[in-house]
A and B are shown apart, each in its own frame.
Chain A
Amino acid sequence: MKLESKVPSGPLAEKWDKHKFELKLVNPANKRKFHVIVVGSGLAGASAAASLAELGYTVSCFCYQDSPRRAHSIAAQGGINAAKNYQNDGDSVYRLFYDTIKGGDFRSREANVYRLAQLSTAIIDQCVAQGVPFAREYGGTLANRSFGGALVSRTFYARGQTGQQLLLGAYSALSRQIGKGQVQMFTRSEMLDLVLVNGHAKGIIVRDMVSGQITSHSADAVVLATGGYSNVYFLSTNAKGCNVTAIYRAYKKGALMANPCYIQIHPTCIPVSGDYQSKLTLMSESLRNDGRIWVPKTAGDKRPPNQIPESERDYYLERKYPTYGNLAPRDISSRAAKEVCDAGCGVGETRQGVYLDFSDAIKRLGAHVIAERYGNLFHMYEKITGENPYEVPMRIYPAPHYTMGGLWVDYNLESNIPGLFVLGEANFSDHGANRLGASALMQGLADGYFVIPYTIGDYFARTGPGRPSTDHAEFKAAEKEVQEKTRKLLSINGRRTVDSFHRELGKIMWEYCGMGRNESGLRKALSAIPALRAEFHQDVKVPGENEELNQSLERAGRLADFLEFAELMCHDALQRNESCGGHFREEYQTKEGEAQRNDAEFCYVSCWEYGGAGQAPILHKEPLEFETVHLAQRSYK
């Protein structure tokens, strides 16, 4: 299989402008003849659906929640990066580009990342114009804060609810188009398959989650913006409904899955407290602007934090990375936390936690300043743990948060299946092996507002309008297959609940394909997962029927896909005999315990092709070519 990245030629800074000129246009009068399906209504999906509708395309948008405003982008807290250089502190498009490439441990595509940095500034302008209430200085100008992996202040924010406010901006733009009839919105609707006609993506199969009805929807192109797959670990910072189904079913229809083993384990989450726990809650990285991370120097020290004198504390990030200190990137901070906990210095009941301490900042700035910056986060922490972080240091521990891997796309965000476009977290494109903080919002909105409106037009101009009828044999066959899958899940009537299997899968993945990975562990996982999957298909109990609102059935369908996808993640982690970013193979580390890349052999995107039921997946490689950046060992010291 030949993978064409379609990266334009010419100097890095001119590629996107040149490419935009070369992309074909659709006559405005003809745009309404083209139907676009957008799956997902988060930052990427909502911004794409709204922008495409504004251009005049006929759009159908699908989400599994009861309203497009609830997509999980809403939970992003800290902020969004943009190379505005409003602070006059040395920022530029090139610096944001370089920070992002370096942050991703040189495993992302240079041209895509540069375009992202270029578009970042227009995103801020767009959101301000929509009425997003970003934080302001007294003079009325936009305020900034710092984030991990950068030495400039380029993060724009709206208290600790930046994702919410950006999503509500995109949702309002989408609502405007729904009101005009240019977008038809389908809520409580779950995509269960992708339909190809003559090799092109031409529609989807959807289950109405209220009536259980399974229907076909056809279009001239399909856009997937369905988010990430961190819920493969069961416990993650994702919403309960987040799942891999849409992109996994596209993979089974021939789309390539890229770098599935690249997972971001976020360093600042509230630690697990018990077996009943249903999800983990993130505490924004922005807290590391003012909070200091430490553990007791002595293993097993059980004194309360305020009784441990300064000299007996290990501020391990400040010690190991004096330049970046508490703002070291996420992958590095998470591994450092694991290291001190593995050494027995962890805190809290489970000993799987470290302190994030604000007492110095409160002394320096006063509690009111800290409350203004992080009030809602402190409030949330107190609600969950019952402890007041103004008085007692927060306890935090890493948790699965974001997935850099996803469906393979070219420079146009089109997958290897013509007419199938993938945006936001669902694609693999911009973050390499580790994403920097405040870059997910940037990517979702860049893809939806400013990339897809150009690139989808080129596809349409080359193919012409003409979506197939949903009576087409391909739709009927896909509908039947989906119905059959559902019927099977309901008929097993075994002895174990869906969640009991999901928790077990999560434990396997966290143990063997989590923060640290090694060959023998991954091989164990590769034998445990198929066994668990077989048991699931023999012994799961899914109560109720298809023809009703059935939350157990929804979860069972998603888990069935996670049980296959998990294996693909382990294959990917096993073949990548190097450490890079969030993928830390214990066999490959420097003397100081940092990730040891192997650029000679692994400077590529691993792209997996579905090999058929019961067959091993097939690996293809897209070599990463760096025209501008010099590959270096990442250093934050």
Chain B
Amino acid sequence: MNLTLHVWRQKNARDKGRMVRYEAKDVNPHMSILEMLDVVNEQLTLQGINPIAFDHDCREGICGMCSLMVNGIAHGPEPGTTVCQLHMRHFKDGDTIYIEPWRARAFPVIKDLIVDRSALDRIIQAGGFVSINTGGAPDGNAIPVPKDAAETAMDAAACIGCGACVASCKNASAMLFVAAKVSHLANLPQGKAEAHERVRQMVAQMDAEGFGGCTNYFECEAVCPKEISVRFIAQMNREFMTASVRKLTTAAAAKSSGFG
């Protein structure tokens, strides 16, 4: 099949960037869209044109590195699929495909289709963990975890941190990403002890990074390659409210008892 591509080209963070048209000829329907770009890049290289830069690594849908808007949809039109697993059999001969980077204030473009997602790492660094040092952990079976709690935690923990939720949200909100980590740990006994501190720190960092708020459009859930549910956002909101009230009441109690 033959396709027309319109691809975002931007030399570096300072460059303004623009869409550039390329023709992709004799595309095999079994290729992934990244393999199609590989072939285009081979041709560009031989023509002396700088190839299109895009992030990718595992190419099996789990590392979370690939990050393309395809025809305006994060990771393209197939639900529950990262763009590295989007195969050309889902397109038709003669199609025009628009390929752009994630767009969000918190994800500045580095080059072409590559953006900086380090804001997501900083949110995790602010509290997305259980504070336990290596060594001295109790036996794995010492604390039973109900099967449904473990399954729910796993549903949330499946997040690959790709940032598609942010890219697809009109507010560039990272709520689904943050909610996935908050809920993963809040559903397990191991994460409970510091659940309040965790959610407050992570939300504060999320706000500091310039992500927007959630206005319940649920685009994030629609594009999430791991199909993470927005009900985790509800859980995070609940956790956050409880944590905030708890903080206020503890502060008031401490003040009245003279330990403020």
Contact = CB atoms under 8 A, between A and B. Distances in A.
The answer to whether A and B come from one shared complex is yes
Interface of A: 47, 50-51, 54, 65-70, 72, 74-75, 84, 86, 122, 124-131, 133-142, 156, 158-159, 161, 164-165, 168, 171-173, 175-176, 178-179, 185, 187, 210, 239-241, 273-274, 276-279, 281-282, 379-380, 383-384, 386, 449-450, 453, 495, 497, 499-500, 541, 543-544, 548-549, 551-552
B114 A549 contact: yes
Given A129-B130, A497-B42, A499-B38, A72 B63 contact: yes
Contacts of B64: 67, 69-70
Contacts of B188: 131, 133
Interface stretch (B133-141, B237-245, B248-256): B133-141
B35 A278 contact: yes
A68 B161 CA distance: 11
B202 to A, nearest CB: 11
B253 to A, nearest CB: 28
A241 B65 CA distance: 11
Interface stretch (B152-160, B168-176, B206-214, B216-224): B152-160
B58 A75 contact: yes
Nearest to A238: B58
A131 B184 contact: yes
A185 B48 CA distance: 35
Contacts of B140: 84, 124-125, 127-128, 134, 142, 156
B133 A54 contact: yes
Given A65-B65, A133-B188, A172-B124, 6 more contacts: A70-B58, A75-B58, A131-B185, A133-B184, A383-B81, A384-B87
Contacts of A240: 56-59
B5 interface: no
B51 A543 contact: yes
A548 B129 CA distance: 34
Contacts of A141: 141, 144
22 contacts: A67-B120, A68-B121, A72-B63, A74-B58, A74-B63, A125-B137, A126-B135, A136-B145, A137-B147, A141-B144, A172-B128, A172-B130, A185-B121, A187-B121, A276-B31, A281-B59, A383-B87, A384-B87, A543-B51, A548-B11, A549-B110, A552-B51
B161 A47 contact: no
Contacts of B215: none
Nearest to B123: A175
A70 B57 contact: yes
B146 A140 contact: yes
Given A75-B63, A165-B157, A171 B58 contact: no
A173 B130 CA distance: 8
B197 interface: no
Contacts of A497: 42, 45-46
B6 interface: no
Q: In the complex, which of the residues A74, A137, A159, A171 has the most CB atoms of chain B within 10 Å of its own CB atom?
A: A74
B130 A179 contact: no
Interface residues of B, number: 77
Interface of B: 11-12, 28, 30-32, 34-35, 38-39, 42, 45-46, 48-51, 53, 55-65, 78, 80-81, 85, 87, 89, 110-111, 114, 116-118, 120-121, 124-135, 137-141, 143-147, 150, 153-154, 157-158, 160-161, 184-185, 188, 190-191
A72 B60 CA distance: 11
A552 B134 CA distance: 39
A70 B139 CA distance: 29
> Which 4 A-B pairs give the minimum distances between C-beta atoms?
A140-B144, A172-B129, A179-B125, A129-B137
Contacts of B34: 278
A358 B146 CA distance: 29
Contacts of B59: 239-240, 278-279, 281
B134 A47 contact: yes
Contacts of B49: 543
A172 B120 CA distance: 12
Nearest to A128: B140
Contacts of A65: 57, 63, 65
A131 B28 contact: no
Nearest to B27: A276
A108 B135 CA distance: 27
Contact of B125 (A161, A176, A282): A176
A66 B121 CA distance: 10
B138 A66 contact: no
Contacts of A179: 125-127
B87 A164 contact: no
Nearest to B38: A278
A239 B78 CA distance: 22
B134 A380 contact: no
B190 A386 contact: no
A602 B192 CA distance: 54
B45 A171 contact: no
Contact of B146 (A86, A136, A453, A548): A136
A67 B51 contact: no
Given A175-B128, A277-B35, A383-B87, A543 B55 contact: no
Contacts of B30: 273-274, 386
Contacts of A68: 121
Nearest to B154: A133
Contacts of A142: 140-141
A187 B120 CA distance: 13
B89 A386 contact: yes
Contact of A548 (B12, B60, B63, B87): B12
Contacts of A172: 124, 128-130
Nearest to B52: A551
Contacts of A548: 11-12, 111
